[in-house]
Amino acid sequence: MYNELFKIGPVTIYGYGLMIAIGVLLAYQLVEYRGRKRQFNLSHVFSLTGWSLAGGFIGAKLLYWITQFQNIKSDPGILLNLSNGFVVYGGIIGGIGAGLVYCRIKRINFLKHLDLFLPSVALAQGFGRIGCLLAGCCYGEETHGWFGITFHHSELAPNGVELIPTQIMESVFSFALCLVLILLSKRTQKDGLVAAAYLILYSLGRFVIEFYRGDIIRGQIGVLSTSQFIALMLVLVTCLVVVFSRYQNRLTGKKV
């Protein structure tokens, strides 16, 4: 795997950035296509994409800085590096938060738009993990199994050692999750159900994959990695919100 794919004059095309760009473009094509079929206002879809990308970038960077607080204390220059160092959960939370703010400002249905966007988020994550594979970040633990992969030119992953391909595992999982969410969206009219399914399923999948990660830069909370702790909290909060919503609808006589 090579992160430096090719050069155009003085410009180097990196695999990580290219996969992120491809993921974002295809994700937008998907959300626009589904939005048009469902008669969403496409100007809101376009604006929400921009807001969510900005919020996701800020959130992913902030959470990375939080996990690297001790290192930043000894080397504040880390704060100036805006091209590397992101945490996916920070991006998810930041993107959803930015979308909520936009929907409140424009007075449009937040949950309905969130359901529209999250299958595309899963699609983009699938391509993002391919970028991680090319760059060598988010690598797995050492293994002697048949499914191990070996890096030879990575600046991030250990070279010459067979590692569990956690990047491939999460990429395949994210693509499958995208498909499941699209199928679910065709079977339900309940606002927020697709979003709840994404938050629960992605968190559970990520929680399991984290056990096989070998990079130690992610931060720890007790015996759990930062991402595992956030995953458990998201599952708990999402389940509580779903249960409360069903209970509230029963009290008001609405069908779920």
Q: What is the model's pLDDT at position 68?
A: 76
Percentage of residues of the chain with pLDDT beyond 70:
93
Strands (E), the chain: 4-8, 11-14, 149-150, 162-163, 220-221, 224-225
Q: Are β-strands 220-221 and 224-225 bridged in parallel, bridged antiparallel, or unpaired?
A: antiparallel
The neighbour count for residue 209, using CB atoms within 10 Å, is 21
Q: What pLDDT, in 10s, does the model give residues 71-80?
A: 777 877 777 7
Q: Which of 20, 87, 69, 70 is nearest to 230 (CA)?
A: 87
Q: What pLDDT, in 10s, does the model give residues 7-36?
A: 787 887 888 889 999 999 999 999 999 999
What would the mean pLDDT of 109-132 be, rounded to a whole number? 96
What would the mean pLDDT of 188-204 be, rounded to a whole number? 94
Q: What is the model's pLDDT at position 140?
A: 93
The neighbour count for residue 59, using CB atoms within 10 Å, is 24
For residue 47 the two structure tokens come to: 């604006």
Q: What pLDDT, in 10s, does the model give residues 202-225?
A: 999 999 999 999 886 666 788 888
For residue 198 the two structure tokens come to: 């994404």
> Is 160 strand, coil or helix?
coil
List the domain boundaries for the chain.
Answer: 4-252
| pLDDT above 90 for 233 | yes
Q: What pLDDT, in 10s, does the model give residues 31-63?
A: 999 999 999 999 999 999 999 999 999 999 888
Which comes out higher in pLDDT, residue 200 or 138?
Answer: 200
Kindly report which listed range (82-91, 97-106, 171-180, 198-207) carries the lowest average pLDDT score: 82-91
The neighbour count for residue 145, using CB atoms within 10 Å, is 7
Q: What is the model's pLDDT at position 79?
A: 76
What would the mean pLDDT of 119-123 be, rounded to a whole number? 97
CA separation for the pair 64, 72 (Å, rounded): 11
Average pLDDT of the chain is 89
Which comes out higher in pLDDT, residue 72 or 254?
Answer: 72
- Inter-CA distances, 98 with 50, 56, 76, Å: 9, 8, 27
Q: What is the model's pLDDT at position 164?
A: 95
Which comes out higher in pLDDT, residue 223 or 193?
Answer: 193
What would the mean pLDDT of 117-137 be, rounded to a whole number? 94
Q: What is the model's pLDDT at position 65?
A: 85
Q: What is the model's pLDDT at position 21?
A: 94
What would the mean pLDDT of 86-115 be, rounded to a whole number? 94
Number of residues that make up the chain:
256
Query: The whole model's pTM is what?
Result: 0.89
Q: What is the model's pLDDT at position 154?
A: 86
Q: What is the model's pLDDT at position 253?
A: 59
